[in-house]
Amino acid sequence: MPDSGVSSTVQQPRPGVTVARATVRDADAIHSMVNFWAARGDMLPRTLGETYENLRDFFVVREDGEAVACGALHITWADLAELKSLAVREDRQSAGYGSMIVRACVEEGRNLGLERLFALTYRPGFFERLGWEQVDVMTLPRKVWNECYRCPKFPGCNEIAMVIDLETAAVPAATN
């Protein structure tokens, strides 16, 4: 099986930094990071209630115990899951944390037996660096549009669909 660059659920690129499953103690930080970027049009907003309801989908990167990046893997169907709500705190950009979350989700997807992950994003280049490929959004099942109806941009959204095939892709290993 290709190496995702993540060891089980916890990776430690430098002292004090971990990637792990979210707990209820991370909910406020996740809610705040997601809505910070949602207000800038980068992703869908979430209420705190939705954050708790979906908390088991989330991974977080913690610095000395504090969540500074998050992302969720939400199962869509037997063979497909969406990587969503990927957000890194504004003052922690380009520290490798977004990549850590993506790798954790890829490993989780493989452990769950999924075939493919997808993401809808305005940052295709970031995903391409991690082995994802751009696809025509119409090749994804209609079910992926479930949440689009509540997006302020609907139907004028120009997010790009990215996918990774978990059976064939070798995700570039972490460099930090």
Chain residues in the site for ligand COA (CB under 6 A): 37, 42-43, 86-88, 93-99, 119, 121-123, 125-126, 129
CB 59 within 8 A of CB 19: yes
Nearer to ligand COA, 113 or 125 (CB): 125
Closest to ligand COA by CB, 67 vs 88, is: 88
Two tokens, residue 170: 């070798």
Between 122 and 154, name the residue whose CB sits nearer to ligand COA: 122
Q: How many Å separate Cα 148 from the centre of its chain?
A: 17
**Residues 35, 29: Cα–Cα separation, whole Å:** 10
Q: How far is the CB of 19 from ligand COA (least distance, A)?
A: 11
CB of 125 to ligand COA, least distance (A): 2
Which residues, other chains included, contact 75 with Cβ-Cβ below 8 Å and sequence gap of 6+?
A: 81, 112, 114
Minimal distance, residue 26 CB to ligand COA, in Å: 16
